Amino acid sequence: MTEKPGDPMPDFRLPDPRLVTRTMAEVAERSQRIVGDFLKRQAETDANPDPLNIGGAFMEMTSRLMANPAKLMEAQLGFWQDYITLWSHTARRMMGGDPGPVIEEPRGDRRFKDDAWRENEVFDFIRQSYLLAARYFTTAVNSADGLDEKTAQKVDFYTRQFVDAMSPANFVLTNPEVLRRTAETGGTNLLKGLSNLLADLERGKGKLRIRMTDDSKFRVGENIAVTPGQVVFQNDLMQLIQYNPTTETVLKRPLVIFPPWINKFYILDLRPKNSFIRWAVDQGHTVFVASWVNPDESLADKGFDDYMREGVLAALDAIEAATGEREVNAIGYCLGGTLLATTLAHMAVRRDNRIKSATYFVTLTDFAQPGELGVFIDEEQLTALEGKMDKRGFLDGREMATTFNMLRANDLIWSFVVNNYLMGQDPFPFDLLYWNDDSTRMPARMHSFYLRRMYQQNDLIKPNVLELLGTKIDLRKIKVPTYMISTREDHIAPWKSTYRATQVYGGKVRFVLAASGHIAGVVNPPDSGKYSHWINEDLPPDPEAWLAGATELAGSWWPDWHRWASAMDNTQVPARKPGDGQLKPIEAAPGSYVRVMAVD
């Protein structure tokens, strides 16, 4: 049989019967252990048939649709008209015609990148049939009138989860690339994929934990998180790392970075070529970073106020002891930025002016529109989550990782299902995905407060409603110069929501918008030549008006930030090394806290 372009089926090789026999025996043995682990875990937890509170939302949506059958009929009629057109176009193609497509997937959708999806008439029909059905489902559920905003958002989100799951790319018999691979290998890919699936179930002890990268290729402190430095201070919640200078003189004012404790700090120090920490050191900053503990049940009672006291405020004391400098520039990333803003409001009341400038990486302070994460914040889900945390003392990091992965299911779930289980390939070693899988726990008290008082009730933005460390929190009292970097495709901290803080802070604010998303838009070194950024000195109340008046500049925003930060105080002093001051090194960077994994 001669293979032609777009033909998914080359000559078929029969599988090795010995390999099939060995694989099936291995499946039987491993499956017993997996089922045992699953049943044990189920016995230890309260089974909730609807932990995400989806059923009620879809029941309400269905009743709303039934109340207006004309609109549903209109959507169905449009779908069937499109489907008949697709049948007609496919028939014309089979007879040698060249009709245009009825529907195309959005730009950037990589599920249908294989040429056979377009060049082969059958698979082109399957692809377009799926896209038409997907459009019909989303149109139908979005046409239900009278749903409150939260319910409508939940229905839309989980409809898209279902639609993504049902993509023909996710099934052996409807994916031309998988069929081609199966024919070429005699089905060995499916046997290897089955082995990969069992390994992932074993990793999750009966719950699927998809391996996204070859984690054997990475070692924290050996080939990632390798910028030289020393841990100079530690307490229950953090280790404070001071990095070795690479310049003869440095800026007098040290720089301290507070990453989110939802993830580990080394997203800012993956490899030398994309490390923000190393780059900042090379620009002449004396850099300190908080490396947060990966908490266990012993820290269940640590709250947001403890992260203020034992995190930001403790770091400022330690930096003064290490360098003799009272004044610092501070950066907060995501939740670390929310912590920084909250602590700055507290410090303003106490007339504590040690932080002279604040930089916020993709930080929410107004949670009125938190994006799709809001789907997971309602009373039923919070109550169920708190029940779990009360038993364990913390939120399991893997549960949070699953939530974030669902926000980009095609990229972070289904692409790996296809690659690992259908194609039978091992995941590629990728430092960012290794970091993404290196999840962290969240203390029960802190996480409940964060979700309820900030996400659910949006109390942080309300003046004098939150009280922490004996102080009423009012973000309007923050008067320090502020630099805000947000990213245009952020699915965790939507840029239009982060922009709202520009109208709140009392000091001079510079807002910069970067291309790409929550991670790639931030971790974008100048040498990479990737991703542009937008700048506009004016700060109108409407974010769209800001963007309309902004100037797009090529490349990374990092140099713009350095010019801004160094302009605060450009005084130079001899370079400082860890241990020069009152604090002596405890251990080499990246320290021991970062090495504790959530599965330990």
Give the catalytic positions in this structure. Answer: 334
Give the largest Cα separation in the chain, rounded: 83
CA distances from 404 to 19, 262, 486 (A): 37, 11, 18
- Contact residues for 80 (Cβ-Cβ < 8 A; gap 6+): none
The count of other CB atoms within 10 Å of the CB of residue 249 is: 12
With the C-alpha atoms ordered 110, 114, 120, 122, is the resulting torsion angle positive or negative?
negative
Question: In angstroms, rounded to a whole number, what is the distance separating the alpha carbons of residues 379 and 84?
Answer: 45
Backbone angles phi, psi at 514, to 5 degrees: -105, 155
Tell me which residue of 308, 346, 326, 340 sits closest to 482, measured CA to CA: 340
509 neighbors 360 (Cβ within 8 angstroms): no
Residue for token digits 């289904």?
414
The DSSP 8-state label assigned to residue 490 in this structure reads -
Helix, strand, or coil here: 230? strand
Question: C-alpha angle with apex 375: 304 to 265, nearest 5 degrees?
Answer: 40
240 neighbors 590 (Cβ within 8 angstroms): no
Tell me which residue of 332, 329, 214, 223 sits closest to 274, measured CA to CA: 223
Question: In angstroms, rounded to a whole number, what is the distance separating the alpha carbons of residues 107 and 420?
Answer: 24
Question: In angstroms, rounded to a whole number, what is the distance separating the alpha carbons of residues 20 and 17?
Answer: 5
Give burial (CB, 10 Å; 0-12/13-18/19+) of 347. Answer: buried
Residue for token digits 């106490």?
350
- Contact residues for 252 (Cβ-Cβ < 8 A; gap 6+): 325, 569, 571, 572, 573
254 neighbors 328 (Cβ within 8 angstroms): yes
278 neighbors 298 (Cβ within 8 angstroms): no
Helix or strand run (H / E) with residue 58: helix 55-66
Tell me which residue of 315, 335, 309, 314 sits closest to 447, measured CA to CA: 335
- Regarding beta strands 328-333 and 355-361, do their DSSP bridges make them parallel or antiparallel, or are they unpaired? parallel
122 neighbors 350 (Cβ within 8 angstroms): no
586 neighbors 230 (Cβ within 8 angstroms): yes
Tell me which residue of 577, 560, 477 sits closest to 254, measured CA to CA: 577
- Contact residues for 62 (Cβ-Cβ < 8 A; gap 6+): none
Backbone angles phi, psi at 356, to 5 degrees: -95, -20
